[in-house]
Amino acid sequence: MNIFGNSFAMQYQKLRHQKKDLLILLLAGVITLFHPSASHAQLGRAVRQVIVTQASTWNSNTASMQCWQRAGAGQPWQPVFEKAVPVLLGRKGLAWGRGVFNPPQNGIPAKIEKDWKAPAGVFQLGSLFGYAPTPPGGARWPYIQVGPWDAYVDDSNSPYYNRHVRIDPRQGVPPWFEKQKMRLGDAAYKWMLEIRHNQNPAAPGYGSAIFFHVRRGPATPSAGCTTMAEADLTRLIRWVDPAAAPHYVLLPKADYAALRGAWGLP
């Protein structure tokens, strides 16, 4: 016989559930404390090369780029170039990209497709593309010669979104190819070093086809890429070393200063 009645049993079960929920919340807090989010992570110990571009503000379409290297984890970062390289960014400035770290929530919008903004954040590098049979002399980066059947897809509805694709015309040319194929003979795309924004996996609509490439003029911004004089680009291409796990950092100066310590930047 239950001399306490159903109300006591119900209260007891309620207290048990509340205690269980409290324990779950406490455990979640401990996990958060000792396993910080990517927005508070730092560059990996294997990273020995970092390309840093700093713009004046989020609305800037010009900036300065410097390369940094270190002998190993915990060693001091050293500048590579005698002076910073002038670069051009997206016509409408910067927006947060999808890279190695989660961006802080500071009211700045995320980059989206065709917004004419360069993605800000920290990014790995992808493939090196070019028209020539071989990359610039001395380059160590994996190289792909662009031909008539290469595409880099910026269609958000495509399963190949934000990816390089090489089709086999013997198996038929898909209807999307003509609009997505990589340009041939355009001097601005003579060399293209991929910046791995919005990859692994690519989120539809959040921006695609971001590269370092040759500028169209000393005062002509890009659609979202980081561009520079050809001589500076080839110097960058010769410097990057796959064994040094190079990363690209693009931030306004104030944000770089604020995040430098938390992200372990040069």
**CA 71/CA 244 separation, integer angstroms:** 9
Q: What is the pTM of this model?
A: 0.85
Residue 49, judged by CB atoms within 10 A of its CB (0-12, 13-18, 19+), counts as: buried
Rounded Cα distance between 245 and 44, Å, is 9
Q: Which two tokens stand for residue 132?
A: 């020539």
Confidence at residue 5, expressed as pLDDT on a 0 to 100 scale: 42
Domain ranges of the chain: 1-35, 46-263
* pLDDT value at residue 15: 40
Q: What is the 3-state secondary structure (H, E, C) of the chain?
A: CCCCHHHHHHHHHHHHHHHHHHHHHHHHHHHHHHCCCHHHCCCCCCCCEEEEEEECCCCCCEEEEEEEECCCCCCCCEECCCCCEEEECECCCEEECCCCCCCCCCCCCECCCCCCCEEEEEEEEEEEEECCCCCCCCCCCCEEECCCCEEECCCCCCCCCCCEEECCHHHCCCCCHHHHECCCCCHHHCEEEEECCCCCCCCCCCCCCCEEEECCCCCCCECCCEEECHHHHHHHHHHCCHHHCCEEEEEEHHHHHHHHHHHCCC
The confidence score (pLDDT) of residue 33 equals: 29
Contact 179, 165 (CB under 8 A): no
Q: List, in order, residues 6 or more apart from 236 with CB less than 8 Å away.
A: 51, 67, 85, 193, 212, 228
Q: Walk along the chain (266 residues) in steps of 10 and give the mean pLDDT of each run.
A: 38 41 35 36 94 99 99 97 98 98 91 98 98 98 98 97 98 95 95 97 98 98 99 99 99 98 96
Q: Which residue has the tokens 């119900």?
A: 10
Look-up of token digits 């561009």:
227
